[in-house]
Chains A and B, each alone.
Chain A
């Protein structure tokens, strides 16, 4: 009789303890969606690593402060597929019960996810989706990168400061990203009095661009605007030189930032400039800290600026949640009104939920090292 009572008491204590400890460490889950495998894994992994880096930071900080809160990002791979991205979203929201979404990475996939998030009013921050419409009429969807039209304008303005008069464009006619940037670049060039002497389309699946480049070379431009990812641009540059475009300036876009990994002859890159979301060699204490922390965690320095925008996306999300709690509408409100110290200064959002950020014009040395040239302020 006595022993039974004792056992019951013990059980009650154990249960209470386990209950309480559960209540003590409150883990706040954020859903991360990105292409972590496949062709676009480079971009997805950059965002993931940047975001995870910030999570380490904030979790350590929360622990030091004695807070019971901890953040966790549940990452799901979307394999750069719309259906998979949507499945991942529903899994995160309905099964994992996350309070917010960090992602997606590519604009196309992000469109599919943002659509669901808007229906659910689920707060979401993308670190890399540059397509304009992603945040349009979606009050809960934000991003920490600049937009396609913006970088076109930035590059056109930079072309003007270089004193270029005749510019040609080769763009990807099967990519809205490339088309969009090329259009805004073209429009701004006209505004700036720069003549577009040739505009040729090509496919992102092409490897041979010589037909277009031959045509462009015949128009003898001073610069060639190349709104392609690094892998395609790495093919275009040498072929352009073979086609006779020997001393032209190559103007890239943010997607061109990974060209170093793909190009055989890095000396060609000295003729290239491109706008980035972030400059790793900028003279700033926060950036230096970021780089060294990144190197400590992953063993290498970040190569793609999405690592930085991913870090910033995590920063915005975590701080907003800490500020506003875990209610969806409150988080959205907090993000909307946020002004946090991020890597590239204070991050704030405009009416269209886009960050008010500057672009960093970058170039390369003959070994492929990136160098910061000049900062272009937001419009």
Chain B
């Protein structure tokens, strides 16, 4: 049934694509549409490519880039230089030029992205703006790009076939990419970059990938633009042009490809109407001479959209022909029976995600061990000489008053902070200095004190992100939906649902994560951590904010996890009932030092702990739960 639905969606989209193609081809070839219309259609298609590609960085990745027109310029000039210089048949030279333009733009994207993407948010916006301008300055100063005159006499090779087919290919590839493991990784960075990295996503690589790919598409669009215009000038590709595309993305909905398409179509046609309107107003009222109000309207739309509908026209949702079709079908029942008839389902190949082999057989040695671990923030020694051992299948508690440095230790274990002294040994290997995603892939998964889910993704997608480290298909395979993509995706779908069913969450698999109740969000976070198949699970205050009944349930869940997934669990918790109830051993941390270690019984009777901590901590935890 599911496959059938997907098949139906594909078929419908294909029919629509082909129908649009033939309609416009016919209208253009028959001369019904003049060159003026044709030029506008080309502009629309190019703008769509620019908008959907910018949507990859700004919408899907969630980073504001303000220099997209710069990449378009690189593509435009590169391809124009190639077709001008290369006298061979345009059937060969034009596609080659387009790809070369895209590649050089991608190269620029890479070179710019490597320094720039280390920065976030506002800084990235400013840096990309700066780089966009620098690209323009370079083009203006190079003789090969015609310097300030730009290039003219470029063959007008852009035809409806080229522009339409390339546009469809780019849109389709962004769609398929968005639904592959790579797309999920990119979106998870937007949703919560810290959680993404802790789930095993190499975030910098994915940021760079998305940025570079967007630059590539922009470069191709630039090539089409150059061969539509016939003359190009660096001045065209300025900051304002980048803003034009940003407006398209924002209005359509950041993260929604169809939204970008719709707004690109509307905003490309709008100036033509506004021009007539402006001329009309100026003719009727010569006293007030108005300027084209396009930018005024755009800017107002931007502000109002952000205030009243911050997610844009479609938000992150996609307009789907299938939904439209289903909507129609529901009303025309006579056809319904014809369409929803079951297609025979073929037996599909499946590759289950592999279980990582931890080549570590010696059960007598600890799976995780810290040696004299310490960290200093400026003058503050946040942790000192911390020695923790975690044996296989053990549940160990890490307790201590607020500010004792518990989470700091978690952050060191997962590579979020780099310890200033000591060593961390995971399965016999030191992991100090490894990046977070690497540590996750090697066997440590964690949850967070304040829940960090990929909120707008569904429950099952949250889990699937964490399977990242155990899948292998490349972005290209994801885009073209290669057999390996299908096999692996089917495999993780089964595994993810299995995992959810262990926690009794299979019913909510397809609901957005942020619509879950609090207790289930906690559970989902644990579930996501387990999906990366860790050897060590770090739980940071899993019971925070839970009522006694939920805590009870959580205790059972933790035991189930240990038994079923054979992991060692290290948990930070203030709820003494939980700690005493399930932990086999407990470390007590105070002012960054381990002050006691032992079984719950020993800790409960340790005079130092009781004196220094437990007595007050019990009250404290009560107070805390009261304020929370």
B13 at the interface (CB under 8 A from A): no
> How close is A92's CB to chain B, nearest CB, in angstroms?
9
Given A90-B39, A94-B36, A133-B152, residue A111 in contact with residue B275 (CB < 8 A): no
| Cα–Cα distance between A41 and B423 once the two chains are bound (Å) | 69
Q: Which residues of A contact B299 (CB under 8 A)?
A: none
| Cα–Cα distance between A179 and B460 once the two chains are bound (Å) | 61
B34 at the interface (CB under 8 A from A): yes
| Cα–Cα distance between A75 and B137 once the two chains are bound (Å) | 33
In contact, B148 and A116 (Cβ under 8 angstroms): no
| Cα–Cα distance between A83 and B40 once the two chains are bound (Å) | 10
A267 at the interface (CB under 8 A from B): no
Chain A minimum-CB-distance residue to B152: A111
Q: Which of B364-408 contact A (CB under 8 A)?
A: none
- Most A CB within 10 A of own CB, among B40, B150, B230, B232: B230
Q: Which of A171-188 contact B (CB under 8 A)?
A: 173-176, 179
> How close is A126's CB to chain B, nearest CB, in angstroms?
15
In contact, B150 and A108 (Cβ under 8 angstroms): yes
Q: Which residues of B contact A75 (CB under 8 A)?
A: 279
| Cα–Cα distance between A78 and B199 once the two chains are bound (Å) | 52
Q: How many residues of A contact B (CB 8 A)?
A: 31
In contact, A175 and B148 (Cβ under 8 angstroms): yes
In contact, A174 and B279 (Cβ under 8 angstroms): no
A81 at the interface (CB under 8 A from B): yes
Q: Which of A79-110 contact B (CB under 8 A)?
A: 79, 81-84, 86-87, 90-91, 93-95, 108
B545 at the interface (CB under 8 A from A): no
Q: Which of A106-162 contact B (CB under 8 A)?
A: 108, 111-112, 115-116, 119, 131, 133
In contact, A87 and B40 (Cβ under 8 angstroms): yes
In contact, A38 and B292 (Cβ under 8 angstroms): yes
Q: Which of B156, B235, B279 contacts A108 (CB 8 A)?
A: B235
A37 at the interface (CB under 8 A from B): yes
In contact, B40 and A86 (Cβ under 8 angstroms): no
Q: Which of A76, A82, A179 contacts B275 (CB 8 A)?
A: A76
* Chief secondary structure at chain B's binding surface: helix
> How close is B152's CB to chain A, nearest CB, in angstroms?
5
A77 at the interface (CB under 8 A from B): yes
Q: Which of B35-49 contact A (CB under 8 A)?
A: 35-36, 38-40, 43
B229 at the interface (CB under 8 A from A): yes
In contact, A77 and B275 (Cβ under 8 angstroms): yes
In contact, B149 and A131 (Cβ under 8 angstroms): yes
Q: Which residues of B contact A111 (CB under 8 A)?
A: 149-150, 152, 231
Q: Which residues of A contact B153 (CB under 8 A)?
A: 115
In contact, A112 and B43 (Cβ under 8 angstroms): no
In contact, B271 and A84 (Cβ under 8 angstroms): yes
Given A87-B272, A90-B34, residue A115 in contact with residue B152 (CB < 8 A): yes
In contact, A95 and B36 (Cβ under 8 angstroms): yes
Given A77-B278, A133-B152, residue A112 in contact with residue B292 (CB < 8 A): no
Q: Which of A44-88 contact B (CB under 8 A)?
A: 75-77, 79, 81-84, 86-87
- Most A CB within 10 A of own CB, among B147, B271, B275, B279: B275
B233 at the interface (CB under 8 A from A): yes
Q: Which residues of A contact B229 (CB under 8 A)?
A: 82-83, 86, 112
B430 at the interface (CB under 8 A from A): no
> How close is B230's CB to chain A, nearest CB, in angstroms?
5
> How close is A285's CB to chain B, nearest CB, in angstroms?
31
> How close is B340's CB to chain A, nearest CB, in angstroms?
46
| Cα–Cα distance between A175 and B233 once the two chains are bound (Å) | 11
| Cα–Cα distance between A138 and B39 once the two chains are bound (Å) | 22
Chain B minimum-CB-distance residue to A174: B140
Q: Which residues of B contact A119 (CB under 8 A)?
A: 156
16 interchain pairs, CB-CB under 8 A: A77-B292, A82-B232, A82-B236, A83-B236, A86-B229, A87-B39, A87-B272, A91-B36, A95-B36, A111-B149, A111-B150, A111-B152, A115-B230, A133-B152, A174-B137, A179-B148
Given A90-B39, A115-B153, output 15 extra A-B contacts at Cβ < 8 Å.
Answer: A37-B278, A77-B275, A77-B279, A82-B232, A82-B236, A84-B271, A84-B275, A87-B43, A91-B36, A94-B36, A111-B231, A119-B156, A133-B149, A174-B148, A175-B148
